[in-house]
Structure 1
């Protein structure tokens, strides 16, 4: 049995090509600039409660501090390291062509978490001490930061790998298609919304800033501030991109950079599939929307793949929706809609 793939190609307004790349670029830019700003702002915000020189190095696992820097240097030096790291990762990804392999995303995520967490730990250890030699041990917080950085690296690798597209070859156009005996057709299309990804990045940076301020001892009850922004960031990111796939088993729609959560419709449960023009104003906004038209995943206005299953409609705004609907209708000889 042979496989033949058909799928959405590069498009505009947040589709799998230019739009997805633009959204990723905005997210990376916001992350790099935001981490740099946090590294500088955190010690400066606490300058009134820090000594003129701050402890930056500790001898042994829990020994006393044995190295220090002026406050201005402690603020700028980590930011300089971060900028150099970000530039090196960007040049390396472009040079090797491996930007979608996951290592670049993992390096940027883990590096930012590591440097920002270390900066917050240093501020907390020096807080309210007159001399840097009196600074408390930062070992416990450093361990937590290392675990968080390792988790961020793993998440970055997984996100990068999810961005790799499968094979795409042209297939027959039209509202329905004949499936040759012994062949299995697969349709795949992706879409993303750069603005939703940017909003998710900004909300995430605000949550990170609040968490670092709490870690540095600059804010009490920080979780009351962090939790809403963290939740908003995760939810917005989860519904800022989508991947729709049609196989012999039916339709699968996966959300977010990790492809989770996932909604599935078995082929035998789909009553009909068609293409319909929808806009954000018509369905009530962007993202995952519920309206009188049913459920719509609205990432860009225009053609949407719509399926009806068990009397309920579900639509997703992806490119090449006509071929996806045609393949779904052909799986069981179902009727099409104009």
Structure 2
């Protein structure tokens, strides 16, 4: 069994990195208070090829979008200060900084050029370069945060007999895993969709705007459903094997029967190394990634691997190994187990 300590102390550099993601929030709030009296009711949203404004958006809506996105990024950055977030903290800050920098910059540049022009028909000009530059804002907290150093793993032989005698084979192991990232993204999608629809319908009552509003609601609804699937999952191990089910929608995401299990062990999983959050597939390895940290990894008899991030994966792995050893159709090969335990993240 691979034992990896994924916890690490939060250092002053990590706190400083998180604080940089609160700066876009502060910038949006301060500029709104300073500029609100001088801004028109609508701000430019798009410019045509001739440089003229082609569409607009309510001023308050643009400010709220910038505030919500940057505030969500700042809250997530603060949440990632927990010790368990150390393995992928810098990568998370890089992505959060991109979202916060882009959203706040769009507000700052659009409102700023409008104030400077003294009307609702400003020219975008070279300010567009500033917006592209703001996408790299995440590099600041990324470089400030302490670099995670993977601790040495201690590998112990898997003794199926010993584990079987110490595990109640009639027991059921169940864990609920919540993904803060998916939960926040779901909330932001709902709020952003509502604001977008209001902005579209608020422009005029033409059929084109109505169609755009309906299309926006459909897209937001589909994305929201996919987000809710992975907002919280229930992971269970019993005589039926391993099951991963969406808690909110009741959709079964994965089931591994006992006759498919070759071995099971605990490891650490990073969303960046797995390709992101949600259901990931990379080179014959699948995973349900709810967050970075401890995970239950299963070697399947057909040669694939499956992992799911969950608390206390050692208990689940021990029970799954014991149940598999007692299953008549399961043929555990202890010699091959040692050679495949470290493959998932290598």
Indicate whether the TM-score tops 0.5. Answer: no
TM-score by length of 2: 0.42
TM-score by length of 1: 0.43
